[in-house]
Amino acid sequence: MRKILCLLSVLLLCAGTYAQKANYNLLIGTYTNTGKSEGIYTYNFHTFSASSRLKSITKEVANPSYLCVSPDKKFVYSVNETGSTSTISAFAFNALTGKLTFLNKKESHGADPCYITADQKNVIVANYSGGSLAVFGRNTDGSLSDAVQVIQHTGKSIDPKKRQESAHVHMVQFSPDRKYLICNDLGEDQIYVYHYNPSGKNQTLTIKTVLKTNAGSGPRHLTFSPNGRFAYLAHEFNGSITAFVYSNGTLNKIQEIGTTDKDFSGRIDGADVHVSPDGKFLYESNRGDANSISIFSILPTGKLSFVSTVSSLGKGPRNFAIDPSGNYLLAAHQYTNDVVIFKRDKTTGLLKDSGKRLAVGAPVCLVFTP
């Protein structure tokens, strides 16, 4: 009898562990100014079945178009993209209920923030229209301090019709070793690498180097391989991807590769880029007239080999995310108001429509968290 009870205990423990690994919170940031969204949505997402359940809606949040979660998973930070009145907001996060409790907000120190990231000490925001980045301290209760540093970019590039008449900071991201902050400026066609000192106050970020990208390409989003050895930069205007070898704050270019057919003549509007959790495949989304997701295998050298391009099955796949198990890829469509769930083949990298959808107004940011 004792052996049976012990066996049952082990089985129950295993079942609990299985359930914990299978279920994640999926946070969805949106544009509320369309009238089709109420704010930030929290779903439960099951990584083995792709089943989902709405847990919470955080209302009265203006255009929370990009979100991030603190390293301890207790707080969520959101941009509020409202032109010259833009702010960023802090929330306490209850992972069990999915509820976000508003803490405070601060002026973003630049118009139209479009990306936000956080570590234990700071929250850093990229202001697209303002062409600036700003650093905010994190108080012990998770709320935001006043800005401790604001850096204004002032350059431009060759094509004013493609929003390069001035600086447009599009992404701020920590390097894998957390010693540096990578900043993509779409308006300047440049990548800034900043030294990062978490306690540096008005010297939190100091410039290390600036890299020029191809003129008129519009560097947008960058992602690292899980092992931190390689980085991949998606360009908005031509949809190309630049592959780099990364080491100690240095990005050495090894490849430039396109994501559309050579005879494609429509607007591309490259958007997002991610590497699968196993580091074997890279995915990139295009909007405009393409509305596609391109798939590449990652070679041992870090270079990319084209696999396939598939329809994103919606319009405006501005953001997508691969769930932590690597089983599914979720594409958020800004203009068709849904999240399309693809089943991902871990061996080939190929995507297949699961038939499952999340109906959300103007979804533009997907974040998985336990």
Indicate the domain borders of the chain.
Answer: 64-213
Q: What is the CA 276 to chain-centroid distance, rounded?
A: 13
Cα separation of the two ends of the chain: 36
The mean pLDDT value for 116-128 works out to 98
Ranges of H-type helices in the chain: 2-22
pLDDT at residue 159 in the model: 87
User: pLDDT tens, 6-65?
Assistant: 444 444 444 444 445 899 999 999 999 999 999 999 999 999 999 999 999 999 999 999
Token digits of residue 161: 């019709």
Token digits of residue 204: 């939190």
**Above 70 in pLDDT, residue 353?**
yes
The mean pLDDT value for 74-91 works out to 98
Lookup result for tokens 């800004």:
334
In the CATH hierarchy, which fold is given to the domain comprising 64-213?
Methylamine Dehydrogenase; Chain H (2.130.10)
> In angstroms, what CA-CA distances link 170 with 84, 191, 237?
16, 10, 13
pLDDT at residue 2 in the model: 54
- The Cα 370–Cα 367 span in angstroms is 10
**Above 60 in pLDDT, residue 4?**
no
Supply φ then ψ for residue 207, to 5 degrees: -70, 135
User: pLDDT tens, 301-344?
Assistant: 999 999 999 999 999 999 999 999 999 999 999 999 999 999 99
Residue 16 or 293, more confident: 293
Q: Which of 114-118, 124-128, 151-155, 160-164 has the lowest mean pLDDT?
A: 160-164
pLDDT at residue 15 in the model: 43
